[in-house]
Chains A and B, each alone.
Chain A
Amino acid sequence: MKRIVAGQRRKWKLSAFDCVNVLLMLMLLVVTLYPFLNTLAVSFNQATDTVLGSNFIWPRKFTTLNYTNLFEDNTIYNAFFISVSRTVIGTITSLFCTAMLAYTISRKEYFLRRQISFLFIFTMYFSGGLIPGYMLIKNLHMNGTFWVYIIPGLIGAFNLIVMRSFMEGLPGSVVESAQIDGANHFTIFLKIVFPLSMPVLATVALFVAVGQWNSWFDTFLYNSSKQDLSTLQYELMKKLQSASMSVSGNAETLFSNSDNQQANIVTPTSIRAAITIVAAVPIIVIYPFLQRYFVHGLTLGGVKE
């Protein structure tokens, strides 16, 4: 009885804290979301109208012209295709290879498991750095090819450790009974461990896919002279660079045109907004569904070295 009373009094006394807390959280939501909503609205707004002021989260004069214009541009269309390809191919290959290696070093009887783990964990702290890595890619003649997006990042140490930790936690009896039935390791991996590891596979798939979709630096370093291998992020990066160099480009193109043409005009700002949205939306749509997986995966990787 006494405890209930105490509990009620506490609730009443601290409701001010709750209000402030909720208010702070709402502020966080606004600060997080406003840039996205604003850019989304700009991308669907007539470019001529945006010039008059761009602080809104709902298009004032709706148009899809910025997008149609964007995808008429062959370079963007092709870059989008390359970005999708590298994300799909990169994620599948990386997932399979990482899982297979993780399976072997999760087997307690494997006599090389410690050495292999060490080889990978060491790379988390020591790396050759930018220039030796760049030289290596050049020497392997991988620059100017699609494979420079896929192969160097095939297995990440962090992802490997996350997967290994998960697989070590799987019940050993499943694997042992398969071994008694005479299944070899590859079959056990493919038919038993791989399907059982779906939660961690989803996590790592998200990490890898996000990394692939978002990366622009490898395109910049190795494929900047190959237009047909350019990626969406790299195209956006180039637009960003030219935007930060010239501030006044918009107005000049606009006011040289008469009124009735203005609805059909796109400006660098509007195009940039549209690419930003195209580059961000695939991930924004996917990550909430994988949330429970990556929260778990992150703690798994954080706790075990």
Chain B
Amino acid sequence: MDAASELKANPKARSVKPTRSLWKKVKQQKALMAMSIPFVLFVIVFSYVPLWGWLMAFQDFKLGTPMLQNHWVGLDNFRELFRDDSFLRVIRNTLAMSIINLVFGFLSSITLALLLNELRSIMFKRIVQTISYLPHFISWVVAANLIMNMLSIEGIVNYILVNLHLIQEPILWLSKGEYFWWIIGASNVWKGVGWGAIIYLAAMTMIDPSLYEAASIDGAGRFRKIFHITLPGIRPIIVILLIMSIGHILDAGFEQQYLLQTPMVVDQAETIDLFVLKYGINLSRYSFATASGIFKTLISVILLVAANQFAKRMGQERLF
């Protein structure tokens, strides 16, 4: 259809030489170009020009000096990065929170989708869904406020735990380093579980209903149908989302840690993004901060490609 419409518009298109046909296309499609080229320039300026800034990771960048005239230091910034004990701690924190988020995020969303799918009352299902989206739409600033209130000394969490005699006296949750990763994990589940379930529920509606009917006739119960029809039915989408999130394994989040951290838990709270912010913006060590940013991007891309290859080899769905 593509070629046919082109042929209709320009009967000689097939016979002309490539360069001339390109020029013809430009002339013919100048309206489309006028509508899109400004935005191409936009994306180049705002997304590709910053990539040029990566050069400063190999320099001793000073503000005000033109990019190429800074002193080149090779890989010194990267060497310093790996010698820095705090950077290793930052990677540990990032990976820990990211894995917690990944595991509990996936499990909670899939579980919620399965449970919603089994609800008999459509009305009730809709109400639960609508309310479960709510936390996704509020900002992390609002969420952090709510979470801080819940976890305060006189907050509901301490109130319940003390009254159930599970703890002797209220705990200052946010000032104890050992709880921080789990608080972040729980906050992410609270905020994202409903939203995460959407895509699985949509995938479940695509499953052929006759499969369920056939299974019922064969005497399969609710659980067998969940494990043998529903879960296999949504497996492709689970695999795709897993691949995508493996590429984001170093994105442990930024806002939640920044907003919920207290001076007492910095050792557990600092992620790569916070590290970059600290050195880049607060301490003006631009080259060093950019080097750690590049490290993060490179690892992410390597992981994404690797996960994709792995999925390909396993004969699963894949991203590209």
- A residues touching B (Cβ–Cβ < 8 Å)? 3, 6-7, 10, 13-14, 17-18, 21-22, 24-25, 28-29, 31-36, 38-39, 42, 53-55, 97, 100-101, 103-105, 107-112, 116, 119-120, 123, 125-136, 151-152, 154-155, 176, 184-186, 189, 210, 213-217, 221, 233, 236-237, 240, 243-245, 247, 272-273, 276, 279-280, 283-284, 287-288, 291, 295, 298-299, 302, 305
Contact of B280 among A108, A110, A130, A214 (CB under 8 A): A130
Q: How far is the CA of A55 from the CA of B31 in the complex (A)?
A: 62
B247 pairs with A125, CB closer than 8 A: yes
A276 pairs with B130, CB closer than 8 A: no
- 1/0 contact string of B102-127 vs chain A (CB within 8 Å): 00000000001001101110001001
Residue among A97, A112, A245 with max Cβ neighbours from chain B (10 Å): A112
Kindly state whether residue B167 has any CB partner on chain A within 8 Å.
no
- 1/0 contact string of B278-294 vs chain A (CB within 8 Å): 00110000100110011
Residues of B within 8 A of A237 (CB): 141, 259
A111 pairs with B29, CB closer than 8 A: yes
B31 pairs with A126, CB closer than 8 A: no
Indicate the size class of the contact surface on chain B: 35 or more
A39 pairs with B149, CB closer than 8 A: yes
Kindly state whether residue B255 has any CB partner on chain A within 8 Å.
yes
Kindly state whether residue B75 has any CB partner on chain A within 8 Å.
no
**Least CB distance, B111 to chain A, in whole angstroms:** 9
A97 pairs with B39, CB closer than 8 A: yes
B237 pairs with A302, CB closer than 8 A: yes
- 1/0 contact string of B172-204 vs chain A (CB within 8 Å): 001000000000000000100110001100100
A221 pairs with B133, CB closer than 8 A: no
Q: Which 6 A-B pairs have the closest CB atoms?
A: A128-B50, A132-B53, A214-B139, A129-B293, A132-B50, A35-B146
Residues of A within 8 A of B90 (CB): none
**Least CB distance, B89 to chain A, in whole angstroms:** 20
Q: How far is the CA of A42 from the CA of B216 in the complex (A)?
A: 51
- B residues touching A (Cβ–Cβ < 8 Å)? 1-2, 5-6, 9, 22, 25, 29, 31-36, 39-40, 42-54, 56, 112, 115-116, 118-120, 124, 127-135, 137-142, 144-150, 153-156, 159, 174, 190, 193-194, 198-199, 202, 216-217, 219, 221-222, 237, 240, 247, 255, 259, 262-263, 273, 276-277, 280-281, 286, 289-290, 293-294, 296-297, 300-301, 304, 319-320
Q: How far is the CA of A305 from the CA of B319 in the complex (A)?
A: 8
Q: How far is the CA of A31 from the CA of B128 in the complex (A)?
A: 12
Q: How far is the CA of A287 from the CA of B221 in the complex (A)?
A: 37
B131 pairs with A33, CB closer than 8 A: yes
Q: How far is the CA of A17 from the CA of B296 in the complex (A)?
A: 45
A130 pairs with B36, CB closer than 8 A: no
Residues of B within 8 A of A128 (CB): 47, 49-54
A129 pairs with B290, CB closer than 8 A: yes
A34 pairs with B115, CB closer than 8 A: no
Residues of A within 8 A of B135 (CB): 32
Residues of B within 8 A of A10 (CB): 216, 221-222
